[in-house]
Chains A and B, each alone.
Chain A
């Protein structure tokens, strides 16, 4: 119960954990997946696992956009810096992510014009300020960031700007959930639905999970109490044999989502037939590209993109960890070849990735108390 002192409402936390124990059938195992990387980070940070009965297993989903981006796409994006007219812009999260020949930051050190922006709107601003250069924005993220890229592009077009383009790597969360559910070794019982993604897409897109896959899903906030309440709601559904979409995060997430944001996305983007996810392979209709009406702003149309494919290292078992078949520490590379400082696999790349979160909180804690060899069998090899 590490972080209980920090909880604002300890008596409510105690009540929720009590209710979780009451609802849990000790004879069975409960496998709950939190889809969002923010939830994964929070679960480790707050030590929520310590509050749950041992037969509730939290499995960390694919909701970390930096993690699931294939290395080949980073290489493709960086290839545009061969053209010295190009200013490569991306969020800070991307800057240390390794490509085959180095990260964006290492390209910068070698002379490429690589700049951090905190908003796609700033990339556009940079294009306006540098009319003799071409500003390329390396867009990543789920539906939390895609509407901002979309609105920026509509503004660029309205302003008649010619020296701005987007290398679009936006992905959508629903097909990734579908891919996990379709996988033969899938063993999930229910989902903790993403919080801020759902402010955009709303709750309706999850209905098929309940209706056709017969799995409960509860859209959840990020407070420890939010997540415990969501688990209570999931356990109640499982106990009653129900499978519904419920919204624990009503105070922030409207059932219909943000219509203006969805409209901006629909105006600018269309679904790609398929897209590669690191650790998961190709998933159909899982990513966005610019519509032909925005071809002038599409970096993939304006530049000769090599279309590099880098196979995930065979020894890294990211896919199995994503599907909940393996825990992070059970991967052969975990903590040895693959660390947050030197990531080999996708899930070690960002602090929202499950392996990095596990490493930063659990592994370091275990190492500090000298229990590494006992608790991390993969480490003993």
Chain B
């Protein structure tokens, strides 16, 4: 939870305010961008994501660094599992196995 996941905003979705499609290592999920209201998100922005919400904008280079850090810490799989687990916009969150303790 301390470590954020970097992603790229693909598009803002019309179905609800502050809903955006984000891509993380090729996986696309919907996240909430309502916490960026002071500097609204737009397509092409890189963001740090915590628990399904974009928390800050970063540069592309910092996004790459953050992904590398997650990999070096052995947290990249847990991060991808988190991203894949986001169920916003689906009828229900996808069922999934519990992550190992403390991951993420």
Contact = CB atoms under 8 A, between A and B. Distances in A.
Contacts of A141: 1, 51
B53 A119 contact: yes
Contacts of A41: 73
A144 B32 CA distance: 14
B1 A351 contact: no
Interface residues of B, number: 49
B52 A37 contact: no
B97 to A, nearest CB: 8
Contacts, number: 170
B91 interface: yes
Contacts of B4: 144, 196, 199
Contacts of A66: 102
Contact of B86 (A118, A197, A254): A118
Interface string A93-111: 1011100000001000000
Contacts of B90: 125
Interface residues of A, number: 64
A196 B48 contact: yes
Interface in A41-73: 41-42, 45-46, 63-66
Interface of B: 1-4, 31-32, 34-38, 48, 50-53, 55-56, 58-59, 62, 65-66, 68-69, 72-74, 78, 81-83, 85-88, 90-93, 95-96, 98-104
B50 A196 contact: yes
Contact of A144 (B34, B55, B66): B55
A350 interface: yes
B55 A352 contact: no
Contacts of A222: 3, 66, 69
B54 to A, nearest CB: 10
Contact of A199 (B31, B37, B55): B55
B72 to A, nearest CB: 6
Contact of A121 (B53, B99, B103): B53
A197 B35 CA distance: 14
Contacts of B101: 93, 95-97, 340, 349-351
Given A222-B69, A252-B58, A125 B88 contact: yes
A258 interface: yes
